[in-house]
Amino acid sequence: MHRIVRILTCLLLVSMSFCSAAGDPLPSWNEGCVKKRLIAFVEESSDPKSQRFIPIESRIATFDQDGTLWVEKPFYAQLAFSLDTVADHPEWNENWTLQDIEKVINAAHSGMSVTEFQQKVQNWLATAKHPRFKRPYTELVYQPMLELIDYLRKNDYKIYITSGGGQEFIRVYSEKVYGIPIDRVIGTAGKLQYTKVNSKPELMKLPELLFLDDKSGKPEAIQLFIGKRPVAAFGNSDGDREMLEWSQTLNNSLQLLIHHDDAEREYAYDTDSKIGRFSTALKEEALKNNWLIISMKKDWNRIFPK
């Protein structure tokens, strides 16, 4: 009899544990005020009876990519692609200037059609691996952020990527990796030229910048491509400040910054980093404006998908 009771108790605990996990929209987030605030925002904004209800047509969320959705260290994946595909270039080091980076990226991103470029990126992503983690870059996405995107999507949010990275580069994998269609990817864009190759129309990529989607360029791009302010904005660096500011003017909104403070499971960097700099001024503004600052070390029980 006692044995039967123990077995039934065991089964009940397993069942309760399963139900709890199944009902948790953010299982990779540790319990605490951060997780509670995220869930409260989504629940209230999608509840017609709530004073903080947001109509479906206004439920727009914008996400930075590098350092917000996937790893950006030791250097951006797009730069890694450029270094791998440009034969003649100096060795990467953290003293490179923006001009050095632009030179290599321009060489890898121009002189071909958009179709050729997309195939080139696909081929690279299929074989390239991160120098530290030895995994494909597309596997080094942040599981907690994937869960958050899915949670927002299930509550009728339109999800956009708003990245300083290359628009055409991100569009190659955005749907497969994040479930975000290519028409909801906004990024830095180079100039294109319409031409005909062997009597077939093509768009050729030129080594000239059309639009830089960084800092003040982010809200400008959001207005150009979306036409509405987001009600939720997510980033990790100084380049995302203006996007978060732009989203906060609404009555009910959410702003979130990721602080990379987990050197063991990922990387630890902030004020002194040239890539993904999280300045003291940004932190002060976040605290002043009640933006969420996420600690990877404390708030996430898992970094990458298994």
pLDDT tens string 177-216: 999 999 999 999 999 999 999 999 999 999 999 999 999 9
Q: Does some domain include residue 1?
A: no
DSSP the chain: -HHHHHHHHHHHHHHHHHHHHHH-S-TTBPSSHHHHHHHHHHHHHT-TTSTT---GGG-EEEE--BTTTB---SS-HHHHHHHHH-SS-PPP-TT--HHHHHHHHHHHHSSSBHHHHHHHHHHHHHH-B-TTT-SBGGG-B-HHHHHHHHHHHHTTPEEEEEEEEEHHHHHTTHHHHH---GGGEEEEEEEEEEEEETTEEEEEEEEEEEE--STTHHHHHHHHHT-S--SEEEE-SGGGHHHHHHHTTSSS-EEEEEE-B-TTTS-B--TT-SSS---HHHHHHHHHTT-EEEEHHHHBS-SS--
Tell me which of 3 and 243 has the higher pLDDT: 243
Q: Looking at the domain assignment, is residue 255 inside a domain?
A: yes
91 domain residue, yes or no? yes
Q: Does residue 282 belong to any structural domain of this protein?
A: yes
In a domain, 14, yes or no: no
- Is residue 16, in this structure, part of any structural domain at all? no
| 172 belongs to a structural domain | yes
**Confidence label for 131 from pLDDT (cuts 50, 70 and 90):** very high
The model carries a pTM of 0.90
72 or 92: whose pLDDT is higher? 72
| Total of domains in the chain | 1
- 84: CATH: 3.40.50.1000
Averaged pLDDT, 231-252: 95
Least confident stretch, 8-17, 116-125, 214-223: 8-17
Question: Domain range for residue 107?
Answer: 30-299
Q: Is residue 64 part of a domain?
A: yes
Confidence at 21, pLDDT banded by 50, 70, 90: very low
Give percent of the chain with pLDDT exceeding 90: 82
The pLDDT assigned to 90 comes to 61
Q: What is the mean pLDDT of residues 12-23?
A: 45
